[in-house]
Structure 1
Amino acid sequence: LHTFFTGKDLDSYKDFYGLPDEKNPYDWSKTTPGQAANRKAVIDEADAIITGYEFQGKQISVAEALEKAHLRVSAPIAERVIREKILSEVKKRSKGVTLKPSGRKNKAPSTIEKKSEEKAIQTAEKGLNELKKKGL
């Protein structure tokens, strides 16, 4: 049960559930009243889920029930947590992106445009000449 709140999956929710005491993860005294209430809400919801499954003659593991309970209890802040996670991933990736010059010199845009225009005219003339030869 206590490993659920200390797992890597919930790193993004540390403000919501609080950080456990490194020496004693069973000690919730370092959490705020709100964080302790959120943890208790997850446990109560998981208990209700397990009871509902048993009432229907089904079984569910404690880990699955805790995950489902977490999704329900943290739903109000889930969008914000996902947005923050994506932003941090983008920032992390952007630091690794570097643009390096290829080492070759670029041609002046005006010469490229002239050559492209001349080539287009030549290609069009060639196509028209072929059509004239075919009698079209």
Structure 2
Amino acid sequence: MKLFGAPQIPLDDIVSLEKNTPNLIVYAIPVMAFFTLLEVGHSWYEKRNLYRTKESIGSTLVGLGNVLINFLIKGLLIYGSVWIYNLLPWRMELNWWMLIPCYILFDLCSYWSHRISHENRFFWATHIVHH
């Protein structure tokens, strides 16, 4: 079994993978619109002021901002990771056992990220919403 010396990943493969991956946002928008209309209809039927237009506009704008930021971060992470991977002289092929140390490393990073967000006042300001 060869540990090092995996081939580079062509960026064209990433582009074709991205083109063939379904965009889940496209499927989520009609579902969100349906439930928004259901909320409006229920509010109107019950003659209660449950629906707030300003709140919905704000939520929609936050959602659009989230989609934009995720798009930018996805591009940066995927293309940046492949670019760095291709620069490494000791690239490793993907094997089943590599998932174990990768998961442990991911869990360690997640733990420290969460802990820092509790310890540091700047990060706590954005993390407190989670609590």
TM-score by length of 1: 0.23
Question: Rg larger in 1 or in 2?
Answer: 1
User: Where is the helix percentage greater, Structure 1 or Structure 2?
Assistant: 2
Per chain length, whose mean CA-contact separation is higher, i.e. which structure has more relative contact order (CA < 8 Å, sep 6+)?
2
